[in-house]
Amino acid sequence: MSSSQLQRAYELIKQGREQEAIELLEPLIRLNPENDDAWWLLANATDDPDAKRNALNKVIRLADNASRVQKAQQMLQILDSSQDDVLYDDFNSLPEADPFDAPAKRSGYAAPPQAPVIVKDRRGPSCFTGCLGVIGVLILLSCIGCFAIVATAPRFFDFLEIPTEYTDAGAIEPGQTVEGDLSSTSERLGYVYSARGAEELTIYLNTDRGDFPPMAFVYDMDSGELHFQDFSASGDSNMPGQAVFTASLDNAGQYLIVVRAWPIPWFDVGLDPFTLRVEN
């Protein structure tokens, strides 16, 4: 299963072309039913409750990313709660269509036949894993009622390109901790990091107040390419607002670490003062 096909499916979902994404993902999953990336995309693409539930259960079973498993569990709980409400309403209104019709008659994805396990290709770090995480956050927010996020979708996905405007916050070295503060959701603070070669960069963001620290993204300052590997947030009450971002840097050179708040309307998420530390 090529990462380019998964990236294409992600782009289709982002453009609102979910059915095309499903048609692309179905044969990929039949070839490799153990790929949690494909199941995660399918869960975000399909509107069929049974297909979505099946895909989320696959993600929970297969994913080795604890943050993704947690998001899948939350989405599954919301789906089960919402489905109970839908069935209750259908029962009272007695619609012409049978709400308990067999899943095979509904649009969506049916579970593929069993196939041998294929090892996932983890070569070539890119922004894909981070994109999946962001799509999960977007879908989860819309599920719980934050439908206004749709209106801000262009701003939500503008992290894919290196920002043209940001506040120069200076340079940062491995092991160094700096303090920062964001005044608005549109503000971006840029920290220049100089890599001496290919390396794994870990970024720690902490805030003493609130549940969410800001977001962090890493860009190659020459090519503008986004380097993003993984994200995890701590739910530990002793360490509120702790997040860890990792990025794989391909070559020596200068990279821009951009810190920004979460672009969620009506909520100041990630605007608290923070500390930033990088390690390699």
Q: Examine the domain organization and report whether 70 and 170 are in the same domain.
A: no
- The pLDDT > 70 percentage for the chain reads 62
Q: Examine the domain organization and report whether 169 and 244 are in the same domain.
A: yes
Statement: residue 123 has pLDDT above 70: no
Q: Examine the domain organization and report whether 171 and 120 are in the same domain.
A: no
SS3 27: helix
**Overall pTM > 0.85:** no
The CATH number of residue 208's host domain is 2.60.120.380
- Structure-model confidence comparison of residues 111 and 159, the more confident one: 159
Task: For residues 119 and 4, give the distance between their C-alpha atoms in angstroms, rounded to a whole number.
Answer: 17
Q: Examine the domain organization and report whether 122 and 48 are in the same domain.
A: yes
Closest alpha carbon to 278 in 206, 200, 169, 175: 175
Closest alpha carbon to 47 in 92, 77, 82: 82
Specify if 153 maps to a domain: no
Which residues are within 8 A (CB) of 276 and not within 5 positions of it... i.e. 6 or more apart?
Answer: 172, 177, 178, 179, 180, 191, 203, 204, 205, 216, 257, 259
Q: Residue 180 in contact with residue 240, Cβ under 8 Å? A: no
Give the pLDDT band (50/70/90) at residue 27.
confident
Q: Examine the domain organization and report whether 94 and 178 are in the same domain.
A: no
Q: Domain count of the chain?
A: 2
Q: Examine the domain organization and report whether 186 and 58 are in the same domain.
A: no
Q: Examine the domain organization and report whether 182 and 253 are in the same domain.
A: yes
pLDDT number for residue 265: 53
Structural domain of 189: 162-279
Specify if 152 maps to a domain: no
Give the pLDDT band (50/70/90) at residue 279.
very high
pLDDT number for residue 139: 54
Task: For residues 114 and 132, give the distance between their C-alpha atoms in angstroms, rounded to a whole number.
Answer: 25
The 10s digit of each residue's pLDDT in 101-119 is 333 333 333 333 333 333 3
Q: Examine the domain organization and report whether 56 and 184 are in the same domain.
A: no
The CATH number of residue 17's host domain is 1.25.40
Q: What is the DSSP letter of 246?
A: E
The 10s digit of each residue's pLDDT in 183-196 is 777 788 999 999 99
Task: For residues 56 and 120, give the distance between their C-alpha atoms in angstroms, rounded to a whole number.
Answer: 18
The 10s digit of each residue's pLDDT in 31-55 is 888 888 889 999 999 988 888 989 9
Q: Examine the domain organization and report whether 117 and 186 are in the same domain.
A: no
For 182, the enclosing helix (H) or strand (E) is none
Q: Examine the domain organization and report whether 14 and 122 are in the same domain.
A: yes
Q: Examine the domain organization and report whether 86 and 32 are in the same domain.
A: yes
Number of Cβ within a 10 Å radius of residue 55: 29
